[in-house]
Amino acid sequence: MQSYTVKPAKGVRGEIRVPGDKSISHRSIMFGSIANGVTRVSGFLRGEDALSTLAAFRAMGVQVDDDGETLTIHGKGLHGLEEPTDVLDCGNSGTSMRLLTGLLSGQGFFSVLTGDKYLRARPMKRVVGPLAKMGARISGRAGGDKAPLAIQGSKLKGIEYDSPVSSAQVKSAIMLAGLYAEGETVVREPHLSRDHSERMLRHFGVSVETFPGGVRLSGGQELSGRDIVVPGDISSAAFFMVAALIVPGSDLLIRGVGINPTRTGIIDILKGMGANLELVDPREEAGEPVADIRVRHSNLKAMEISGELVPRAIDEFPAICVAASLAEGTTVVSGASELRVKETDRIAAMADNLRRAGVTVEETPDGMRITGAGTLKGCAADSFGDHRIAMSMMVAGLAAKGETSVSDVDCIATSFPGFAELLEEVAKR
């Protein structure tokens, strides 16, 4: 378990691209595998999480060719997957496990899903519960809440489900099962979560109806293979946006970033905090909006973050915490209890790390209050095995006085291979 030491920077400058969107990369493999015909994917994220999904579909008999740039998926059709001969290992990836649970529920075979120690500790009842209502036969540890999960594929029927959480993983797992179910499946959620499944299913020719508060689809619809261009991941770009905002003398251009409105909470929040951030050349690629993002150093002020902004920025809170710790005033985050069940408890992890850097942080059950410290102290930070905590504290280190070490940064490879090298490239000293 490697640690990494970051030195303060005098500016974050240059022009970069970030790796492909993780959510879209997972879905490209899943939907491409159950489509009829060939799907070509460019810009695929070669991070450990998306590679876990790729390995799972190969283990179910899907041929995926890789020329180093483009993945070519030879779709097997809705009913062409084969029973895997071994356990499917999702590694650290919640998206792989939850979406696969939905998809596998409707297959004509048996499968088992497992993951690393962090994933095996995360709640699965949120998908197992509604899937059981559809007729799925899933068992697992802790009464079916924890992996390993054993799934005996069965006949499913559509349901109407009111999800208590705004979660794209829950919504997508039920939609995937809904493709195999008899009749119509409806999922409602408190606030709209990322809609990549809806967009990609439509791109593959499936009729998906969206209405305020939910989504509806009919079972038995076939998918047709399509080309997919995966945009840069706004969740990865977020670390560089915050780095440029907090280090004086910064001016950074991030090219080709996905700006799907269900993901741009980070832009709205940073702008609300006074960020000098511009979207340049907005365009659309394969059903997803994309733009270049220019960010310059800014004097940030605190803001209140709650409601629909929370799911629209759910993965960006560790980075937002770093911005808040250098903003003037107290930033209040509420309605974000989902952060407690991510790769680690991200409220506790960021509170702990920012306190080490000299910031006043108060935890609440569903959020936190962060009072801007003016400056950060170099410190020994802990990743807690969570890629986004690791990257956030490395970014904090650029604006700190003295050196910041971050423990166990290997986890960054789940979503952002090459992060440290890219950060060093733009951090001027």
Residues in touch with ligand S3P (CB under 6 A): 23, 26, 95, 167-169, 172, 193-194, 314-315, 338
Please give the full DSSP string across 341-368, using - where no structure is assigned: GSSS-HHHHHHHHHHHTT-EEEEETTEE
Reply yes or no on whether 21 is catalytic: no
Q: How far is the CB of 190 from ligand S3P (least distance, A)?
A: 12
* Cβ 189 vs Cβ 166: under 8 Å: yes
As a whole number of angstroms, the distance between CA 262 and CA 193 comes to: 6
Beta strands 400-401 and 330-333: pairing type? Answer: unpaired
Nearer to ligand S3P (CB atom), residue 245 or residue 314: 314
Q: How far is the CB of 122 from ligand S3P (least distance, A)?
A: 9
Alpha-helical runs (H) found in 209-264: 234-246
DSSP 3-state assignment of 325?
helix
Alpha-carbon separation of residue 368 from 93, 170, 189, 240, 382 (angstroms): 26, 25, 24, 23, 19
Which secondary-structure segment (H or E) carries 141? helix 141-144
Q: How far is the CB of 95 from ligand S3P (least distance, A)?
A: 4
Which conformational region is residue 240 in: left (phi greater than 0), alpha (psi within -120 to 50 degrees), or beta? alpha
Q: Is 102 exposed, middle or buried (0-12, 13-18, 19+ CB in 10 A)?
A: buried
Q: How far is the CB of 98 from ligand S3P (least distance, A)?
A: 7
The DSSP bridge partners found for residue 214 are 188, 211
Q: How far is the CB of 315 from ligand S3P (least distance, A)?
A: 5
Three-state secondary structure string covering 180-199: HEECEEEEECCCCCCCHHHH
Q: How far is the CB of 206 from ligand S3P (least distance, A)?
A: 17
Nearer to ligand S3P (CB atom), residue 71 or residue 99: 99
Q: How far is the CB of 27 from ligand S3P (least distance, A)?
A: 7
Which conformational region is residue 91 in: left (phi greater than 0), alpha (psi within -120 to 50 degrees), or beta? left
Identify the active-site residue in 21, 292, 315, 386: 315
As a whole number of angstroms, the distance between CA 32 and CA 52 comes to: 15
As a whole number of angstroms, the distance between CA 103 and CA 138 comes to: 12
DSSP 3-state assignment of 336?
coil
Nearer to ligand S3P (CB atom), residue 338 or residue 382: 338
Query: In the numeric block, which tokens belong to residue 161?
Result: 């489900």
The DSSP code for 215 is E
Nearer to ligand S3P (CB atom), residue 165 or residue 253: 165
Nearer to ligand S3P (CB atom), residue 167 or residue 298: 167
Q: How far is the CB of 334 from ligand S3P (least distance, A)?
A: 17
Nearer to ligand S3P (CB atom), residue 172 or residue 344: 172
Which secondary-structure segment (H or E) carries 330? strand 330-333
Nearer to ligand S3P (CB atom), residue 328 or residue 366: 366
As a whole number of angstroms, the distance between CA 215 and CA 209 comes to: 6
The DSSP code for 382 is E
Catalytic residue positions, numbered? 315
